[in-house]
C-alpha cells in the first residue's frame, strides 16, 4: 500500500556552475509541438513555461561557442511500444513532431531523432558528443521524470558530467518534477542549478 503522504528529501542546488565552452553542450530534450504547444497531443503547460528560459540559455551558449544538441522524439504511425501507453504522438513529419518555433534549431546545431525515452538508446548521440570532445552536458527540456531523466541517467552511466538547470525542465505534475530532481541528485550525482547559474568560459 502506498503511503498517503510522501515527503521528498531535499536536493542540493548550487548557485553557480562554470563549464569549459569547447567541451560542453546544451541538450534540449523533446521541446516539440505535441509536448510544448497548447494544440499538442500530449501538451503539458509547464513545458510551455520553460521556453523563455531555455531560449535565454541557448543565447548564452551560442555566444560562448557552446555546441547545441536537440533531441527529437520520433515515432512512426504504428509504434507498438509507446502508442499503447500514450496514444499517437510526435509522428515523424507531422506538425506535432516539429520543435517549437521559439526554439528552432539554427545552422550548426545537431538534431538527434530518438524513438524511446533515452536519447542515447539506439541513436548516434554518444558518438556525436565524443566526436566533438564533449564532456559536459547541460540538459533542459521535457518531460523531467521521463525523457529528461532517462537521458540524464544514460549520460551519467557513460561518465559525462551533467548539469541540469531546474528552471529549464518541465514535468506533468509537481510530484513527478520533485521525484526527478531527487533521482538526479541522489542516484546520478547530477549538478542542479538554475539557468542564471550556468556560465561558460
16 and 193 in contact (C-beta within 8 Å)? yes
Is residue 79 in some structural domain?
Answer: yes
User: Residue 201 has what pLDDT?
Assistant: 97
User: Residue 16 has what pLDDT?
Assistant: 98
Is residue 35 in some structural domain?
Answer: yes
> Residue range 152-172: average pLDDT?
98
Alpha-carbon distance of 85 to 91, in angstroms, equals 15
Is residue 9 in some structural domain?
Answer: no
**Hey, which residues does 132 pair with through a beta bridge?**
none
Alpha-carbon distance of 156 to 174, in angstroms, equals 24
First to last CA, the chain: 50
Helix, strand, coil percent values for the chain (each to nearest 5): 35, 25, 40
Is residue 1 in some structural domain?
Answer: no
Alpha-carbon distance of 116 to 107, in angstroms, equals 26
Annotated catalytic residue within 34, 118, 147, 176? 147
The DSSP secondary-structure symbol of 13 reads: B
Output the pTM of the full model: 0.96
Alpha-carbon distance of 104 to 158, in angstroms, equals 28
Annotated catalytic residue within 30, 34, 73, 161? 30
The CATH number of whichever domain residue 24 belongs to comes to 3.40.50.850
Alpha-carbon distance of 82 to 118, in angstroms, equals 13
Q: What is the mean pLDDT of the chain?
A: 96
Q: What percent of the chain has pLDDT over 70?
A: 99
Is residue 8 in some structural domain?
Answer: no
- State how many domains the chain has: 1
Range of the domain at 135: 17-200
> Residue range 166-191: average pLDDT?
97
Catalytic residue check, 41: no
User: Residue 4 has what pLDDT?
Assistant: 73
Annotated catalytic residue within 114, 161, 176, 185? 114
Is residue 11 in some structural domain?
Answer: no
The DSSP secondary-structure symbol of 22 reads: G
> Residue range 15-43: average pLDDT?
98
Catalytic residue check, 109: no
pLDDT per position as a tens digit, 48-89: 999 999 999 999 999 999 999 999 999 999 999 999 999 999
Catalytic residue check, 114: yes
pLDDT per position as a tens digit, 117-156: 999 999 999 999 999 999 999 999 999 999 999 999 999 9
Is residue 125 in some structural domain?
Answer: yes
User: Residue 5 has what pLDDT?
Assistant: 77
The DSSP secondary-structure symbol of 100 reads: P
Amino acid at each position: 500500500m502506498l503511503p498517503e503522504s510522501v515527503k521528498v528529501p531535499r536536493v542540493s542546488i548550487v548557485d553557480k556552475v562554470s563549464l569549459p565552452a569547447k567541451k560542453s553542450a546544451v541538450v534540449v530534450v523533446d521541446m516539440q509541438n505535441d509536448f510544448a504547444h497548447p494544440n499538442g497531443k500530449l501538451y503539458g503547460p509547464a513545458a510551455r513555461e520553460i521556453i523563455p528560459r531555455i531560449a535565454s540559455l541557448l543565447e548564452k551558449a551560442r555566444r560562448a561557442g557552446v555546441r547545441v544538441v536537440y533531441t527529437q522524439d520520433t515515432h512512426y504511425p504504428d509504434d507498438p511500444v509507446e502508442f499503447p501507453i500514450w496514444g499517437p504522438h510526435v509522428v515523424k513529419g507531422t506538425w506535432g513532431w516539429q520543435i517549437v518555433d521559439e526554439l528552432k534549431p539554427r545552422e550548426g546545431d545537431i538534431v538527434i531523432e530518438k524513438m524511446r525515452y533515452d536519447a542515447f538508446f539506439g541513436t548516434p548521440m554518444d558518438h556525436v558528443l565524443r566526436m566533438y570532445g564533449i564532456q559536459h552536458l547541460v540538459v533542459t527540456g521535457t518531460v523531467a521524470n521521463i525523457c529528461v531523466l532517462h537521458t540524464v541517467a544514460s549520460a551519467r552511466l557513460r561518465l559525462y558530467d551533467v548539469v541540469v538547470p531546474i528552471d529549464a525542465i518541465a514535468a506533468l505534475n509537481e510530484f513527478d518534477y520533485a521525484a526527478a530532481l531527487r533521482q538526479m541528485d541522489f542516484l546520478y550525482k547530477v549538478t542542479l542549478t538554475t539557468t542564471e547559474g550556468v556560465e561558460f568560459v
